[in-house]
């Protein structure tokens, strides 16, 4: 009898399942006993956590008035890197494409991201493996990551980039390094990363030449010197002790802070790391905004939020909490074709199904996106993928504007925390907004 036909959850034909040792847990223990190694997968935290879904926007009515669609403008552009850089980034929409490596992704997939982002006037970001000519060629605005591994890092690409992102960590695994298994270390990836073909890449979790914000400050100075102070410097952190992290990022000299919550994806990491380390995006954003505000840096050091951004509703709520922009990773991959229903048979062959596929580390993606296999990658059409991404971004932005106009805003960044209420006590406490219909913000003075 299928699970959704069970008369009582956890019961089947008189058999009772344990909540502690449920079927999924038993399955995982048995797998570990067979294989002797942790489970590895892609994606972000799967379990339900308090999120933007638990927040609602307060639309206009008698005390507040909405803007008419189309005629009454609702601006979406954002400038990133105004603090120190000679050439800040001017983006037309407040949604950027997050760092994802060539290696994790195929070359045509990176090209698609560049095409789609450029069509909508926004940026893409390189990943743990360096900059490819395809991405630089197709991305009008490209952010170049500096990671602990330093794979592919070089000053020519540093100068070709439009901004530099120092990666301290990411939401899926704050405190962890990169991971790419042998099946994805193709000839080209091996050459870019300076590794033997087909081995499992081991990655450092700390940068090789600095540890701590006091020494990061000096590293950032070096990056600015090498690039003649032109480019904005981003610092990316996975959400953990966010209040302190953001304050320290500012003190270390960041132009922009990128904050990635636990729902943020990865191409490959231990499942236990993804699910049990880091905090939800919702809980991290107010900490970041508080740190920036206390330092007098809110809107002066821009805040980009990522980790489970899926729709214009998420964008609007992130902006309302104080972000300047958001970044998408998993959503962008889905938009260009990951987990497509047309590939159901292909997924079945590798033991998965559309909507469930997350074994990105295996490199057998039938969509040709999360693979280095030449045949599979050849199936992926980067032009079509680019159009799909542009459509999705356009939809997100239209949604954001719809919600912002309904709240009376002529600019999406004018959304504020007072436009939000929460559906649950946890979400109210984490987001620091009142429970809907009440004045109550758990743990704080009433507003």
- Contact (Cβ atoms closer than 8 angstroms) between residue 194 and residue 151: yes
Strand locations in 147-229 (E): 163-167
**DSSP label at residue 98:** P
Q: Is the dihedral of CA 71, 77, 83, 87 positive or negative?
A: negative
Residues 133-152, interacting with other proteins (CB under 8 A)? 149-150
Q: Considering the complex, what minimum distance in angstroms separates the CB of residue 35 from other proteins?
A: 7
Whose Cβ is closer to other proteins: residue 160's or residue 202's? 202
Whose Cβ is closer to other proteins: residue 91's or residue 192's? 192
- Contact (Cβ atoms closer than 8 angstroms) between residue 286 and residue 196: no
Interacting residue with other proteins among 72, 222, 416, 418 (CB under 8 A): 222
With H, G, I as helix, E, B as strand and everything else as coil, classify residue 126.
coil
| 126 binds other proteins per the rule CB under 8 A | no
CA distance between the termini of the chain: 51
Q: Considering the complex, what minimum distance in angstroms separates the CB of residue 197 from other proteins?
A: 11
| 445 binds other proteins per the rule CB under 8 A | no
- Contact (Cβ atoms closer than 8 angstroms) between residue 257 and residue 249: yes
Whose Cβ is closer to other proteins: residue 40's or residue 256's? 40
User: For 211-355, where are the alpha helices, taking DSSP H only?
Assistant: 213-226, 242-252, 271-276, 281-294, 312-321, 330-336, 344-349
- Tell me the C-alpha distance between 43 and 329, whole Å: 9
Residues 228-287, interacting with other proteins (CB under 8 A)? 228-229, 241, 244, 247-248, 251
Pairing between β-strand 256-260 and β-strand 266-270 as defined by DSSP bridges: unpaired
Total site size for other proteins, rule CB under 8 A: 43
Whose Cβ is closer to other proteins: residue 83's or residue 140's? 83
Residues 286-345, interacting with other proteins (CB under 8 A)? none
Interacting residue with other proteins among 73, 202, 349, 444 (CB under 8 A): 202
The 19-48 contact track toward other proteins, x by CB under 8 A, reads ----------------xxx-----------
Per the structure block, which two tokens stand in for 331? Answer: 């959503």
Which residues sit at the interface with other proteins, rule CB under 8 A? Answer: 35-37, 149-150, 153-156, 158, 182, 194-196, 198-200, 202, 204, 206, 208-215, 217-219, 221-222, 225-229, 241, 244, 247-248, 251
């Amino acid at each position: 009898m299928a699970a959704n036909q069970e008369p009582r959850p956890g019961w089947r034909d008189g058999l009772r399942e344990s909540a502690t040792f449920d079927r999924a847990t038993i399955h995982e223990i048995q797998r570990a006993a067979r294989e002797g190694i942790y489970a590895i997968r892609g994606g972000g935290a799967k379990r339900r956590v308090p999120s933007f879904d638990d927040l609602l926007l307060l639309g206009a009515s008698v005390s507040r008035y909405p803007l008419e669609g189309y005629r009454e403008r609702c601006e979406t552009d954002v400038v990133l890197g105004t603090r120190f850089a000679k050439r800040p980034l001017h983006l037309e929409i407040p949604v950027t494409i997050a760092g994802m490596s060539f290696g994790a992704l195929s070359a045509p997939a990176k090209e698609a991201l560049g095409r789609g982002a450029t069509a909508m006037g926004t940026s893409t970001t390189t990943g743990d493996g360096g900059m490819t000519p395809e991405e630089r060629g197709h991305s009008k605005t490209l952010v170049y990551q500096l990671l602990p591994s330093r794979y592919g890092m070089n000053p020519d690409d540093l100068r070709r980039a439009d901004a530099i992102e120092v990666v301290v960590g990411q939401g899926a695994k704050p405190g962890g390094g990169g991971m790419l298994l042998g099946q994805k270390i193709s000839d080209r990836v091996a050459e870019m990363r300076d590794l033997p073909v087909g081995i499992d890449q081991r990655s450092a979790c700390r940068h090789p030449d600095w540890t701590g914000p006091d020494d990061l400050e000096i590293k950032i100075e070096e990056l600015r010197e090498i690039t003649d102070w032109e480019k904005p410097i981003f610092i990316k952190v996975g959400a953990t002790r966010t209040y302190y992290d953001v304050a320290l990022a500012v003190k270390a000299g960041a132009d922009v802070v990128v904050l990635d919550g636990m729902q943020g994806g990865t191409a490959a990491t231990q499942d236990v790391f993804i699910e049990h380390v880091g905090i939800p995006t919702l809980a991290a954003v107010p900490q970041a905004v508080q740190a920036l505000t206390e330092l007098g840096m809110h809107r002066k050091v821009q805040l980009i939020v990522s980790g489970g951004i899926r729709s214009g509703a998420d964008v609007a709520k992130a902006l309302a909490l104080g972000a300047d922009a958001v970044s998408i990773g998993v959503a962008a991959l889905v938009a260009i074709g990951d987990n497509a229903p047309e590939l159901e048979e292909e997924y079945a062959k590798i033991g998965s199904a559309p909507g469930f596929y997350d074994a990105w580390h295996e490199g057998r993606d039938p969509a040709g996106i999360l693979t280095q296999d030449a045949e599979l990658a050849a199936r992926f059409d980067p032009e079509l993928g680019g159009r799909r991404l542009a459509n999705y971004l356009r939809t997100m932005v239209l949604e954001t504007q719809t919600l912002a106009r309904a709240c009376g805003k002529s600019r999406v960044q004018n959304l504020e925390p007072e436009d939000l209420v929460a559906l649950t006590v946890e979400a109210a406490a984490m987001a620091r907004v009142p429970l809907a219909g009440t004045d109550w913000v758990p743990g704080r003075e009433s507003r």
